[in-house]
Chain A
């Protein structure tokens, strides 16, 4: 509720992404819609191949223009990013929206020192002197928890550990204090101990700078620790949106429930884990109607009709015609969640 009162920072409206394939094209995401308030932390989850990264790259304007196409609207404070000319979009990137990735080497340039890369990012967007850029870069390194930032300013990416590289990438992404950070599995390759450090740094920076974050991950534990709202994607579509605490206790979509129930920590030791049978459908083999239907234990005849994403009471949105009648388990058994 509270996010609806503020004017949204980001409004994604029926966003679809297409890639060229041979003579035709394939659609990889369909009608993705969600909003983010300023300073809000939103988790984007789903199995691999569901379209999370494509959605993040679309928001950043980083999908290859020659081989991809977007439909729908991406409004950043009311301004349509899809309709915007490429030069204006470039100016926006890094300054108002930034993105970090699972593999920091893809975002770091191996031939420049990390300090140089941070200063240059800053100078590309702001009119600051070299000396000031250097100072701000050192500050940024300190903020992300890199020890001895003055010394590390001159380090090359390959001289850093995986965790330190991840911090350096975050420093670059955040040096211009963007309004929105898209974090695509930023800790998936790291140990839990280092993950905890990075997530802490991200959370603290978001709070301090009032920055919003779209946290893309397959780890529901991590979402519950960092985000207040959750968007679940399945086979290229958003299937559920709502408050994290609500969804953990009472998911409204069978897929969200299935993802939560398959976490091993939630099942008695050694007992059978409730897995979701089958796999994410591939393109060309999309079931008509509800895309989750072949794997859904609750499927009924009406599910073969196309399912719109619709608001449910008391809040949230679900793409399932049975959302009201189903009582689905989340992290607790149904009786305990009541």
Chain B
């Protein structure tokens, strides 16, 4: 695993927003991880934990306030402006709300072609052709070309957004809650499509979601974020089946799993309270105000980010020694097999 050069990496990355003269909100705070080529890297956490900001920083839509984002080992901000523009085509994002990404007055073909129009590196006829190919690839027949967004369903609009980014032939796509607004049946369709595209184009995904069923299904590895910091990271099976951090445990336990009553075994841990203000996070361990295992030490000292088991990282003073009880969210299929 270490032999491969990471395609995307962060080193003590911070993204800070200055809210007023003396308040700074650290939406992302000292975050370090590597994403390998061809991998699907999931990021989960409650809303407000900094997932979107982190995702934006990974594709240079948000500049680091501290630390670094590295693309294939290089700092994209060291590139000239022109080079950076060219370089960014490789790093694309698909957002939750396709309506926000599509101009209601543009035909579907024009929306799909738009990134190529902006890049202006091909003649028009070729841009049309590439756009039509991308549409076909995501399962939109040619008669969609002349239609407008309002004539399309949510799932079809999300396909348009995926086709749009495909025209640029990116190597990395950040999917920020890309299937969250879709009905389960349509969500399944889009997840299948993303898997096909990954195989075909060797894509690397950074998959941000609050849906544990989704993240468990498609990710190779997952990172858990809380108030701007990573609290756990590892292989998906390990994190979901044997979480090391009490926060991960609570998230898993809160996920409602469709099982008949006699098959529900795990007792639920209901997390009390809500996410504290990120402007003044709790001292020591940020999770301590909601943690059922918190001790005096947790307020006094920030837990270290350490590799508790090979490839499985956590930031908790007592990681590996706590009686966490996870529920079978990641695959009822595996659990009941």
- Interface presence of B184 (CB below 8 A): yes
B310-334 to A contact mask, C-beta < 8 Å, 1/0: 0000000000000000001111111
Tell me the complex Cα distance, A133–B337, Å. 55
Q: Which residue of chain A is the closest to B182 with respect to CB atoms?
A: A48
Q: Which residue of chain A is the closest to B184 with respect to CB atoms?
A: A262
A–B Cβ pairs within 8 angstroms, 27 of them: A192-B210, A192-B251, A193-B271, A194-B46, A194-B274, A196-B254, A196-B256, A197-B270, A197-B272, A224-B258, A224-B261, A244-B260, A245-B260, A245-B262, A249-B260, A263-B258, A264-B188, A264-B214, A265-B258, A265-B330, A268-B331, A269-B331, A269-B334, A273-B189, A276-B188, A279-B153, A332-B336
Q: Specify which of A194, A195, A245, A265 is in contact with B329 (CB 8 Å cutoff).
A: A265
Docked-complex contact A191 and B218, CB < 8 angstroms:
no
Tell me the complex Cα distance, A258–B274, Å. 35
Q: Which residue of chain B is the closest to A192 with respect to CB atoms?
A: B254
Interface residues on B, range: 35 or more
Tell me the complex Cα distance, A222–B29, Å. 33
Docked-complex contact A272 and B216, CB < 8 angstroms:
no
- Interface presence of A57 (CB below 8 A): no
Docked-complex contact A262 and B256, CB < 8 angstroms:
no
Docked-complex contact A262 and B257, CB < 8 angstroms:
no
- Interface presence of B250 (CB below 8 A): yes
- Interface presence of A120 (CB below 8 A): no
Docked-complex contact B188 and A331, CB < 8 angstroms:
no
Q: Which residues of B contact A268 (CB under 8 A)?
A: 331, 333-334
Tell me the complex Cα distance, A148–B268, Å. 25
Tell me the complex Cα distance, A245–B261, Å. 7
What is the interface of chain A, defined by CB distance below 8 A to chain B?
A: 47-48, 161, 163-164, 191-197, 199-200, 218-225, 244-245, 248-249, 258-260, 262-270, 272-277, 279, 331-332, 336
Docked-complex contact B216 and A196, CB < 8 angstroms:
no
B154-170 to A contact mask, C-beta < 8 Å, 1/0: 11000000000000000
Q: Which residues of A contact B61 (CB under 8 A)?
A: none
- A197, A245, A269: which has the most chain B beta carbons within 10 Å? A269
Q: Which residues of A contact B27 (CB under 8 A)?
A: none
Docked-complex contact A220 and B258, CB < 8 angstroms:
yes
**Nearest CB of chain B from residue A254's CB, rounded to whole Å:** 12
Give B182-233 interface residues, CB cut-off 8 Å to A: 183-189, 191-192, 195, 210-214, 216-218
**Nearest CB of chain B from residue A311's CB, rounded to whole Å:** 22
Q: Which residues of B contact A197 (CB under 8 A)?
A: 270-272
Tell me the complex Cα distance, A191–B49, Å. 11
Q: Specify which of A248, A259, A263 is in contact with B213 (CB 8 Å cutoff).
A: A263
Q: Which residues of A contact B47 (CB under 8 A)?
A: 191
Q: Specify which of B153, B185, B188, B210 is in contact with A191 (CB 8 Å cutoff).
A: B210
Docked-complex contact B192 and A273, CB < 8 angstroms:
yes
Tell me the complex Cα distance, A118–B236, Å. 45
